């Protein structure tokens, strides 16, 4: 018998979360406006206190409703209630518990819910730790939550679809199949499939259990600095917002970067012969906000040290969150089509996602424009021997690198806009995307390595030409010696790779000198920057040798095609087919084929069994009659 109770509880909880988010947004807004009228953001007026108390109750109800939705959806998946479309689409009886967890965020609705839950957790921390900024910051946070909750509402208003519910029944989502068609001989409105479609085989990996929650925590953490920044503009606290926002930005940069690395490791284990980064639009859409976030962290630190780069901090902090929203639009609206191998399918939410993005763009631009003349500007001149100059240069390079990536990634969007305006667009994605992005990003990496090595010397002491030459000479000599030895031993000939290697070694060496100096002076708390930059240099060296010197050995030289490019529906799909045909050797059953120095043959389908030392031929297995038995 179909269990509709769970879905009703879940859907009612979504409505409660939506209404309570709206109430909390209004209440916190009123508390902020009242405190502004009283000329103090933390005014102790009874009316302000009442509005804040009411807003906290609304937030508490909102958080409880979200956790209820989260629990109900997981229970539906874990309990194998296949009368619900979400459970049937993403899970099956054969999945172990860890992959049941992955099923939760495989779909759009589950990943939106995960994002909202993280926002609720972080908002609770803000309320507990910073009462001065609570009302203004929480107004922004709850407005964001209001939009996000609408993404899983799943109702129609005046013929327009608002959100996609994770609690829709299979019979309501697929009314055209015979078993759910009135008058069909197979009609059975209470039909429940015996099993679900299961989790995508590529996602049945332990990294996909921890990568998405880490990544969405990184997304959520970008909201808090954004909220502090807008609150600072709103309250005219132009300088004060930086101090509470910086720790959130630091944690967000670390978590988001970790999430990206986890995704790369998943791709390394799962996709295309060990590759971990293909410049896929979904990868780019996360990479670019992280670059801008790192740039904003550096400008905030510069402001804390010397009261410079405040304007840059405001712009970059806002841009980081807006790029997260733009990334969400790119990956979930279906606009990328075949340009991405792992974007979400289109659920008809493109218009809603665009509204979400444009609303916060409009709010941000409005606040910046009306407050622009009041924002304090840097009074002193920035010279080439100042730390502010080097931080500004580093932030500029990071942003330019991000712009190059997001511009190319957005080509499908620009083409779509041109078509909507009645123009025929000739824009198309590059045929070899990896080569296209690499030729620009490589030089960005070189500049960042050089800047992060050199800029650190200006950070810890005042510099002029003589003192700079004195401190830089030994690191440069050590760098040239190490790089020359490395280049000679490995017989490197590619000039671009030689330059990148030298720059990467330089940032490791220069920051090692800084680190030793700090440790010698017992200033351990200040060593974080040097350690982070050493890590970045080592990462660039790793990327150079793992990607720059990787070769595809599975080239197809048979002349036969795996995919027919003539059947491609779009230019991007045609390019994808051509690349697949070129890079993948064709194997014939029991016929050895040469692959460079290797000889391989296709022996049939084999499966890996837990507790068994070898792979088992699939035809040797017998069904047990119990689909849950591995």
Confidence band, pLDDT 50/70/90 cuts, at residue 626: low
pLDDT at 230 over 90: yes
Please answer whether residues 279 and 434 qualify as being in contact, where contact means their C-beta atoms are separated by less than 8 angstroms. Answer: yes
Query: C-alpha 509: how far from its chain's center?
Result: 31
pLDDT of residue 337: 59
Confidence band, pLDDT 50/70/90 cuts, at residue 629: very low
Q: Name the range with the highest mean pLDDT among 144-148, 183-187, 259-263.
A: 144-148
pLDDT of residue 214: 94
Confidence band, pLDDT 50/70/90 cuts, at residue 484: very high
Lowest mean pLDDT among 5-9, 10-14, 402-406, 608-612: 608-612
pLDDT in tens, 485-532: 989 988 888 899 999 999 999 999 998 988 888 787 767 667 778 888
Confidence band, pLDDT 50/70/90 cuts, at residue 72: very high
Q: Which residue has the tokens 């150079």?
A: 544
CA atoms of 386 and 94, how far apart (whole Å)? 62
Lowest mean pLDDT among 112-126, 149-163, 451-465, 500-514: 451-465
Query: What are 369's two structure tokens?
Result: 């424009």
pLDDT of residue 381: 61
Please answer whether residues 232 and 240 qualify as being in contact, where contact means their C-beta atoms are separated by less than 8 angstroms. Answer: yes
pLDDT in tens, 307-327: 778 899 999 999 999 999 998
Question: Packing angle between helix 207-235 and helix 310-332, nearest 10 degrees?
Answer: 140
pLDDT at 26 over 90: yes
Lowest mean pLDDT among 28-42, 341-355, 439-453: 341-355
pLDDT of residue 630: 45
CA atoms of 282 and 343, how far apart (whole Å)? 6
CA atoms of 306 and 462, how far apart (whole Å)? 13
Confidence band, pLDDT 50/70/90 cuts, at residue 117: very high
**What value does the mean pLDDT of the chain take?**
85
Burial group, residue 113, by CB count within 10 angstroms (0-12, 13-18, 19+): buried
Q: Which residue has the tokens 């332990």?
A: 206
CA atoms of 48 and 54, how far apart (whole Å)? 10
Residue boundaries of the structural domains of the chain: 1-178, 206-426, 433-548, 565-620
Query: What are 10's two structure tokens?
Result: 């879940």
Question: What is the percentage of the chain residues whose pLDDT exceeds 70?
Answer: 90
CA atoms of 126 and 120, how far apart (whole Å)? 10
Phi, psi of 215 (to 5 degrees): -65, -45
pLDDT at 563 over 60: yes
Number of residues written out for the chain: 630
* Mean pLDDT along residues 452-467: 77
| pTM of the model as a whole | 0.87
Q: CB neighbours (10 Å) of residue 484? A: 13
Q: Name the range with the highest mean pLDDT among 389-393, 443-447, 626-630.
A: 443-447
Select the more confidently predicted residue: 43 or 307.
Answer: 307
Question: What is the percentage of the chain residues whose pLDDT exceeds 90?
Answer: 40
Query: C-alpha 303: how far from its chain's center?
Result: 27
Confidence band, pLDDT 50/70/90 cuts, at residue 112: very high
Confidence band, pLDDT 50/70/90 cuts, at residue 628: very low
pLDDT of residue 269: 77
Lowest mean pLDDT among 200-204, 310-314, 393-397: 200-204
Select the more confidently predicted residue: 333 or 246.
Answer: 246
pLDDT at 627 over 50: no
Confidence band, pLDDT 50/70/90 cuts, at residue 34: confident
Q: CB neighbours (10 Å) of residue 333? A: 22
């Amino acid at each position: 018998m179909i269990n509709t109770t769970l879905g009703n509880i879940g859907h009612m909880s979504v409505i409660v979360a939506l209404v309570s988010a709206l109430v909390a947004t209004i209440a916190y807004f009123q508390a902020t406006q009242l405190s502004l009228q009283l000329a103090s953001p933390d005014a102790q007026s009874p009316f302000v206190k009442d509005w804040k108390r009411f807003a906290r109750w609304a937030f508490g109800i909102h958080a409880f409703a979200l956790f209820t939705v989260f629990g109900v959806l997981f229970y539906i998946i874990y309990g194998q209630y296949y009368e619900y479309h979400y459970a049937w689409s993403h899970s099956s009886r054969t999945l172990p518990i860890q992959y049941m967890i992955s099923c939760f965020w495989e779909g759009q609705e589950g990943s939106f819910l995960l994002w909202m839950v993280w926002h609720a957790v972080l908002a609770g921390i803000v309320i507990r730790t910073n009462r001065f900024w609570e009302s203004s910051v929480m107004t922004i946070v709850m407005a964001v939550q209001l939009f996000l909750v609408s993404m899983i509402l799943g109702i129609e208003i005046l013929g327009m679809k608002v959100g996609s519910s994770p609690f829709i029944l299979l019979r309501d989502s697929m009314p055209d199949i015979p078993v759910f068609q009135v008058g069909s001989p197979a009609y059975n409105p209470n039909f429940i499939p015996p099993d679900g479609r299961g989790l995508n085989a590529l996602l049945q990996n332990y990294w996909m259990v921890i990568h998405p929650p880490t990544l969405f925590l990184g997304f959520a953490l970008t909201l808090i600095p954004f909220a502090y920044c807008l609150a600072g503009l709103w309250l005219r606290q132009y300088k004060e917002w930086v101090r509470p926002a910086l720790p959130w930005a630091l944690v967000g940069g670390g978590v988001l970067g970790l999430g990206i690395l986890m995704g790369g490791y998943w791709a390394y284990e799962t996709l295309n012969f060990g590759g971990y980064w293909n410049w896929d639009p979904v990868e780019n859409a996360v990479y670019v906000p992280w670059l801008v976030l790192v740039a904003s962290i550096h400008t905030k630190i510069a402001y804390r040290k010397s009261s410079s780069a405040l304007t840059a901090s405001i712009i970059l902090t806002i841009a980081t969150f807006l790029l997260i929203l733009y990334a969400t639009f790119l990956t979930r609206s279906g606009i990328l089509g075949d340009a991405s191998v792992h974007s979400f399918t289109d659920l008809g939410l493109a218009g809603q996602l665009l509204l979400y993005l444009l609303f916060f763009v409009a709010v941000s631009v409005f606040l910046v424009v009306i407050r622009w003349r009041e924002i304090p500007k840097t009074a002193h001149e920035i010279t080439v021997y100042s730390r502010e100059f080097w931080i500004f240069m580093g932030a500029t390079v990071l942003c330019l690198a991000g712009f190059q990536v997001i511009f190319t990634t957005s080509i499908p969007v620009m083409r779509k806009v041109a078509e909507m305006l009645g123009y025929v667009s000739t824009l198309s994605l590059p045929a070899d995307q990896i080569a296209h992005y690499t030729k620009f990003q490589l030089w960005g990496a070189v500049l960042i390595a050089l800047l992060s090595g050199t800029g650190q010397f200006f950070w810890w002491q005042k510099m002029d030409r003589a003192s700079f030459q004195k401190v830089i000479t030994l690191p440069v000599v050590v760098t040239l010696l190490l790089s020359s030895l490395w280049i000679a031993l490995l017989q490197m000939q590619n000039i671009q790779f030689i330059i990148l290697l030298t720059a990467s070694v330089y940032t490791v060496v220069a920051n090692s000198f800084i680190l030793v100096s700090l440790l010698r002076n017992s200033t351990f708390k200040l060593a974080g920057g040097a350690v982070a930059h050493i890590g970045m240099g080592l990462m660039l060296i790793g990327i150079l040798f793992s990607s720059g010197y990787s070769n595809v050995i599975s080239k197809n030289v048979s002349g036969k095609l795996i995919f027919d490019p003539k059947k491609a529906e779009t230019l991007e799909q045609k390019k994808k087919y051509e690349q697949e045909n070129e890079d993948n050797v064709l194997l014939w059953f029991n016929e050895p084929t040469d692959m460079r120095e290797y000889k391989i043959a296709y022996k049939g389908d084999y499966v890996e069994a837990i507790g068994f030392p070898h792979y088992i031929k699939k035809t040797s297995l017998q069904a047990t009659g119990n689909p849950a038995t591995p």
